[in-house]
């Protein structure tokens, strides 16, 4: 059987209503030399039947049904089955424009990136556009720092990875991490990429289906610990691969974001925890030496209103929780969005 140029990997979990649009957008690609491995991560809503029906009509689409293990496990299963020269990812609730693969495919490069358009589905509005630097990019410290600082490494989609580089360096998703695992995967690949190309085409359509449960509206201590662990892994890779870079300075905004957002998420949305569990978590963070050091530089990094910054600066869990309760009541009266 002929090796395809690209193996697309699409993880999906309980997305029977969203998957058809995703797969149809892949089937409509102008670049035709691909296989698409769709990994059903133990769905219970009829996704499996929708997937099998679609795949039966197009031999390029390969269904893979596994027990539920999370998105990283699903992607790893897809990687183990992939045969393409390149690997590309699409999430099962997103869509791609017809030129997605054509604009990414440059066989002379190990790594290519393209743009991401974020869409608010209920309103039909495009919210943001993230475009990487265009053209041939020199592999090495300067480009890696530029891509990390510009948030271009935060996702595995809208990218093409040479599969032989992944295999030779045994790069896989860390299944124990459920936050920023995409960034860790890309960062572990990046030092091994000898050639890089950027495309400004906004071919990947990241869909937001209403408010949902985002970092700002939900809280989990595991998410926080995973976020710190992923940041530490990124730090270790960059310090080893690029010793000339000021890595601590480069990663300071990432660490600050992890601390600030999880502090506020715990205070505002930590309803799954008891009061004492919230206090214990906040006390732990407030005592963290890295947090204390970064918080002194909050004017550089924080986008929160001054009253919110002041509340956090008190480093008193109980006062912060009291302030959060007041903010929640005010937000309920005005219909505001909160911190």
Q: What is the pLDDT along the chain (339 residues), one digit of tens a residue?
A: 789 999 999 999 999 999 999 999 999 999 999 999 999 999 999 999 999 999 999 999 999 999 999 999 999 999 999 999 999 999 999 999 999 999 999 999 999 999 999 999 999 999 999 999 999 999 999 999 999 999 999 999 999 999 999 999 999 999 999 899 999 999 999 999 999 999 999 999 999 987 544 444 578 899 999 999 999 999 999 999 999 999 999 999 999 999 999 999 999 887 788 999 999 999 999 999 999 999 999 999 998 999 999 999 999 999 999 998 888 887 664 444 344
Rounded distance between C-alpha atoms, residue 99 and residue 96, angstroms: 8
The structure tokens listed for 113 are 């990136």
Rounded distance between C-alpha atoms, residue 35 and residue 89, angstroms: 12
Rounded distance between C-alpha atoms, residue 51 and residue 190, angstroms: 33
Residue among 53, 57, 55 nearest 38 (CA): 55
Whether the Cβ atoms of residue 32 and residue 55 lie closer than 8 Å to each other: no
All structural domains of the chain, each given as residue ranges with its CATH number in brackets, are 6-208 (3.90.550.10), 215-334 (no CATH)
Whether the Cβ atoms of residue 282 and residue 312 lie closer than 8 Å to each other: no
Rounded distance between C-alpha atoms, residue 271 and residue 152, angstroms: 33
The model's pTM: 0.91
């Amino acid at each position: 059987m002929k090796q395809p140029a690209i193996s697309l990997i699409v993880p999906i979990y309980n997305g029977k209503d969203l998957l058809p649009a995703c797969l149809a957008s892949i089937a409509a690609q102008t670049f035709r030399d691909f296989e698409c491995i769709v990994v059903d991560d133990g769905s219970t809503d009829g996704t499996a039947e929708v997937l099998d029906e679609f795949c039966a009509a197009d031999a390029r689409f390969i269904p893979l049904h596994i027990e539920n293990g999370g998105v990283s496990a699903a992607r790893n299963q897809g990687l183990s089955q992939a045969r393409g020269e390149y690997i590309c990812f699409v999430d099962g609730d997103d869509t791609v424009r017809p030129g997605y693969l054509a604009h990414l495919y440059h066989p002379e490069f190990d790594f290519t990136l393209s743009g991401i358009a974020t869409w608010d589905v209920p309103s039909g509005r495009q919210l943001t556009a993230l475009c990487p630097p265009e053209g041939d990019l020199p592999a090495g410290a300067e480009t890696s720092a530029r891509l990390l600082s510009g948030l271009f490494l935060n996702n595995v989609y809208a990218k093409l990875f040479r599969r032989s580089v992944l295999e030779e360096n045994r790069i896989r998703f860390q299944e124990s991490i459920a936050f920023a695992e995409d960034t860790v995967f890309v960062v572990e690949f990046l030092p091994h990429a000898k050639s890089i190309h950027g495309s400004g085409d906004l071919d990947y359509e990241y869909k937001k289906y209403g408010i949902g449960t985002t970092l700002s509206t939900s809280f989990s201590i595991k998410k926080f610990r995973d976020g710190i662990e992923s940041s530490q892994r990124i730090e270790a890779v960059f310090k080893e691969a690029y010793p000339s870079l000021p890595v601590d300075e480069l990663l300071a905004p990432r660490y600050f974001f992890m601390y600030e957002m999880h502090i506020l998420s715990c205070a505002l949305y930590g309803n799954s925890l008891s009061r004492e569990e919230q206090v214990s978590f906040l006390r732990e963070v407030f005592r963290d030496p890295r947090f204390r050091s970064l918080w002194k530089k909050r004017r550089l990094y924080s986008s929160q209103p001054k009253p919110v910054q002041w509340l956090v600066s008190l480093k008193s869990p109980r006062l912060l929780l009291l302030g959060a309760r007041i903010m929640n009541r005010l937000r309920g009266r005005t219909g505001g969005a909160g911190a």
